[in-house]
């Protein structure tokens, strides 16, 4: 697979929520720049027919990319075959095989729930589909054992380097900015450790609830949906050692090494919550104990980080929508002769949501007699760069990489395994999560988890 471009893209789950919000908009953007696969085989559940499917794609692109260029949408649809059927059925795969015609290096996007992944792969194997590469959505498995089983079943059909595990955070330009800050500014390295950093906070919060994904979410919950994947990737990126070289492979090794040093979450360091009204969402059980919020403290047992709390929280139905990584530095007790108070902690805040960028908060002398010190923000806003507007969304990068044989932005199996090991004590807990009102910051108990200073509120 490596370096050879795919001659077809097969999308399993082509009419689902992810396809509507992310995949079709990404394929539209790739079509604008003529970087799309020459043939797309879209597999969706039976129902809409070709006309309904075309409407679905056009509406998705219009909604997510603004009014779309109809000529580009036409080009995209003209190269797309639509196959209706259950992905675990042999008959569906036979149709996929026919639609692929003589394609020899297809990329398959396995956008199906973990519970259906193995049966889908078996159905693919049964009809002998050509094996190019396979993209597997997160969560990869449901826990450590099922992740290993899923990997084994993939390796029966695909070569090891053709299994591309998705965590779309690795496709976010803002997440790569975090890497750029850390590794392109060597002076930061001298303060990136437990002698200078007092704590690391990672917040992923969303105002929206589960929307139409209730029945899917019931089998997943916040820990599997976001903590095990996105948040632990971020922990790995913050905590990793400098890679041996600049290759993507070396970075992935270091992320996995960092996660291998994270202790499994201690039950006393975990707060689970569920927003009021979740149990009345479509597809959700009336007595569901699935968490829509999780806050946890992790310890990274390395020479660099021992003793520094990594505080993570993720939830739906919260007060704001944001993704932030905040690194607080140990404050100095020293006062200057002309200032009255001790300075607050310096801080670097990475914004990974729609705006991106970073804010470095330092102490400065305030103007006038009351001299401070005052916190001042040095704000890097990527929207102010001359190249603003050229950015790609995560799935555009990931689909482009998969189509063009680049494997650097995908997750290694070792990282998947270490992440499941870390969250294992937080999975399948029977006790009901604590209820929290929609529009709040989660259960009150979570507020106490960081100790002094509390959580850092995300910037608007
Ligand atoms: C997905 C989760 O992986 O990430 C969703 O399944 C979540 O539940 C989404 O809403 C958040 O992604 P982003 O890029 O908006 O932070």
* Distance of alpha carbon 13 from alpha carbon 23, whole angstroms: 10
* Distance of alpha carbon 341 from alpha carbon 363, whole angstroms: 11
- Whose alpha carbon is nearest atom 9 of ligand 1? 226
Q: Return the ligand 1 atom nearest residue 210 CA.
A: 8
User: Which residues are CB-contacts of 123 (< 8 A; sequence separation ≥ 6)?
Assistant: 87, 88, 89, 90, 92, 93
Q: Return the ligand 1 atom nearest residue 208 CA.
A: 10
In angstroms, what is the span from residue 126 Cα to ligand 1's centroid?
33
In angstroms, what is the span from residue 204 Cα to ligand 1's centroid?
9
In angstroms, what is the span from residue 249 Cα to ligand 1's centroid?
25
In angstroms, what is the span from residue 6 Cα to ligand 1's centroid?
27
pLDDT at 1: 47
Whether pTM > 0.85 for this model: the answer is yes
Q: Which of 74, 168, 204, 230 is catalytic?
A: 230
User: Which residues are CB-contacts of 185 (< 8 A; sequence separation ≥ 6)?
Assistant: none
- Whose alpha carbon is nearest atom 15 of ligand 1? 353
**Between the CA of residue 105 and those of 4, 8, 12, 400, what are the distances in Å?**
8, 7, 16, 15
Q: Among positive and negative, which fits the CA dihedral 262, 266, 268, 270?
A: positive
Paired tokens of 285: 């059980």
Paired tokens of 286: 């009336």
In angstroms, what is the span from residue 277 Cα to ligand 1's centroid?
20
Tokens 């049964």 — which residue? 126
pLDDT at 341: 83
- Ligand 1 and 323: CB distance under 6 A: yes
**Between the CA of residue 159 and those of 162, 166, 412, 438, what are the distances in Å?**
5, 16, 14, 45
- Ligand 1 and 170: CB distance under 6 A: no
- Ligand 1 and 206: CB distance under 6 A: yes
* Distance of alpha carbon 458 from alpha carbon 323, whole angstroms: 8
Identify the three-state secondary structure at position 362: strand
pLDDT at 3: 56
- Ligand 1 and 393: CB distance under 6 A: no
pLDDT at 46: 87
Paired tokens of 221: 């919950």
Dihedral pair phi/psi, residue 402, rounded to 5°: -65, -45
269 is catalytic: no
Tokens 């140990």 — which residue? 330
Tens place of pLDDT per residue across the chain (460 aa) = 445 799 999 999 999 989 999 999 999 999 998 899 999 999 998 888 999 999 999 999 999 988 899 999 999 999 999 999 999 999 999 999 999 999 999 999 998 887 888 899 999 989 988 778 999 999 999 999 999 999 999 999 899 999 999 999 999 999 999 999 999 999 998 999 999 999 999 999 999 999 988 998 999 999 999 999 999 999 999 999 999 998 888 999 999 999 999 999 999 999 999 999 999 999 999 999 999 999 999 999 999 999 999 999 999 999 999 999 999 999 988 888 888 788 889 999 999 998 899 999 999 998 888 778 899 999 999 999 988 888 899 999 999 999 999 988 999 999 999 999 999 999 989 899 999 999 999 999 999 999 988 999 999 8
User: Which residues are CB-contacts of 237 (< 8 A; sequence separation ≥ 6)?
Assistant: 175, 178, 179, 182, 255
- Ligand 1 and 225: CB distance under 6 A: yes
């Amino acid at each position: 697979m490596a370096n050879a471009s795919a001659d077809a893209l097969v999308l399993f789950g082509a009419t689902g929520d992810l396809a509507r919000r992310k995949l079709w908009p990404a394929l539209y953007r790739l079509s604008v720049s003529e970087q799309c696969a020459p043939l797309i085989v879209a597999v969706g559940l039976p129902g809409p027919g070709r006309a309904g499917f075309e409407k679905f794609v056009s509406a998705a692109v219009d909604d997510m990319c603004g009014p779309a260029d109809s000529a580009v949408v036409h080009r995209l649809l003209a190269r797309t075959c639509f196959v209706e059927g259950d992905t675990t059925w042999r008959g569906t795969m036979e149709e996929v095989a026919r639609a692929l015609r003589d394609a020899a290096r297809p990329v398959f996007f396995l956008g199906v729930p973990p519970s259906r992944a193995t049966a889908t792969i078996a159905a693919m194997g049964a009809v002998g589909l050509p094996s190019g590469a396979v993209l597997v959505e997160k969560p990869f498995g449901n826990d450590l054992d099922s992740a290993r089983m899923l990997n084994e079943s993939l390796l029966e059909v695909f070569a090891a380097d053709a299994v591309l595990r998705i965590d779309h955070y690795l496709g976010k330009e803002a997440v790569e900015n975090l890497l750029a800050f850390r590794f392109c500014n060597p002076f930061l390295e001298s303060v990136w450790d437990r002698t200078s950093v007092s704590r690391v906070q990672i917040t992923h919060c969303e105002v929206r609830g589960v929307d139409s994904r209730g029945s899917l979410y019931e089998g997943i919950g916040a820990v599997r949906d976001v903590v095990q994947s996105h948040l632990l990737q971020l922990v790995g990126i913050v905590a990793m050692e400098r890679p041996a070289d600049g290759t993507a492979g070396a970075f992935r090794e270091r992320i996995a090494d960092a996660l291998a040093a994270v202790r499994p979450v201690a039950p006393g360091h975990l707060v689970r919550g569920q927003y009021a009204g979740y149990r009345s969402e479509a597809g959700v059980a009336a007595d569901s104990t699935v968490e829509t919020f999780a806050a946890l403290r992790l310890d990274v047992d390395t020479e660099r980080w021992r003793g520094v709390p990594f505080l993570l929280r993720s939830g739906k139905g919260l007060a704001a929508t944001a993704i932030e990584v905040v690194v607080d530095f140990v404050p100095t007790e020293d006062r200057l002769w002309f200032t009255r108070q001790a300075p607050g902690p310096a801080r670097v805040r990475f914004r990974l949501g729609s705006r991106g960028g970073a804010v470095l908060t330092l102490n400065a002398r305030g103007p006038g007699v009351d001299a401070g010190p005052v916190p001042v923000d040095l704000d890097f806003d990527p929207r102010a760069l001359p190249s603003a507007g050229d950015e790609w969304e995560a799935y555009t990068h990931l689909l482009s990489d998969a189509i063009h044989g680049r494997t650097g932005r995908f997750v290694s199996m070792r990282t998947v395994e270490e992440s499941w090991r870390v969250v294992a004590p937080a999975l399948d807990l029977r006790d009901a999560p604590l209820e929290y009102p929609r529009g709040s910051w989660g259960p009150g108990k979570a507020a106490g988890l960081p100790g002094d200073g509390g959580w850092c509120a995300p910037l608007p």
